[in-house]
Amino acid sequence: MNMARSLVAVVLAALIGVAGTMAWLHRSQAQVVSPTFRAGIMSTGSDNLHTCQPFTAANHPTRMIQVELPGTFDPRNLQPVITQMDITAAPWTSGNPPPAPYNKATPWSPKTRLDLDLDLGPAGGTKPEMVLIKIIVDDPTVKFRTDGFAIAASDANGRSMFCQFSGGFGLHDATFGAVYYKPHPNQKTMGSYNIGLILPDADPAYILPIFIDPVVQNNG
């Protein structure tokens, strides 16, 4: 607050009282207009995923983890079918059937039904350094967001370990990358991402956007 505004505030306080003065000060400040919800996920503070490094024969994901949500979508009773497939051919953005079960335990609590243990490792080891995660929603009335926030990073680790590539997001599925990330040598790395979905409302004039926030263990 500058000196002139301070002097005016003192005079106003004497004339109209402290409450009136505070209201005047609030109106006199420059007002910042927040963007609307559709410009971003303001309520969760999520960020767009950064772009993956180009996939090449020497640098590409080697496994796809597929999380399929079958039947009618009910966020209170998700029954995901989680499978995995090897990725062996360019452009390295899809797995090679048939899928195999993915049964790695998620022993932490609390958790969502979509939490995953990716069990990644550094380059040159026996574990994959980079994988793809594909989320599929079978219910045709439910769609992924189309504003770049179909999948978004929801914490600092998520911003570092998840990435997106061109063509990865569709109306009923979203595929994105996850890379090995271990900033603390003696600690497991956990990260979160948001799944942005649009549900139909009982009144067709409205929509119901929701966000699911799974936790992923990057490495052990």
How far does the chain reach from its first CA to its final CA, in angstroms? 51
Residues 113 and 178 in one domain: yes
Hunting for tokens 């590539």 — which residue is that?
165
Residue 17 domain boundaries: 1-31
Residues 72 and 5 in one domain: no
Q: Kindly report the average pLDDT of the chain as a whole number.
A: 83
Residues 182 and 144 in one domain: yes
Span 82-111, mean pLDDT? Answer: 94
Task: Please give the single-letter amino acid code of residue 78.
Answer: L
Confidence of residue 1 (pLDDT cuts 50, 70, 90): very low
Residues 3 and 67 in one domain: no
Residue 195: what pLDDT?
Answer: 96
Judged by DSSP in three states, 158 sits in helix
Residue 46: what pLDDT?
Answer: 67
| Gap between the Cα atoms of 83 and 12, Å rounded | 68
Residues 141 and 89 in one domain: yes
Tell me the Ramachandran region of residue 96: left when phi exceeds 0, alpha when psi lies from -120 to 50, beta otherwise: beta
Task: Please give the single-letter amino acid code of residue 213.
Answer: D
pLDDT tens-digit readout, 152-204: 999 999 999 999 999 999 999 999 999 999 999 899 999 999 999 999 999 98
Residues 193 and 96 in one domain: yes
Residues 177 and 92 in one domain: yes
Confidence of residue 220 (pLDDT cuts 50, 70, 90): confident
pLDDT tens-digit readout, 19-40: 443 343 344 444 333 333 334 4
Task: Fill in the DSSP letter of residue 46.
Answer: -
Residue 39: inside a domain: no
Domain count, the chain: 2
| Its pTM surpasses 0.85 | no
Residues 82 and 24 in one domain: no
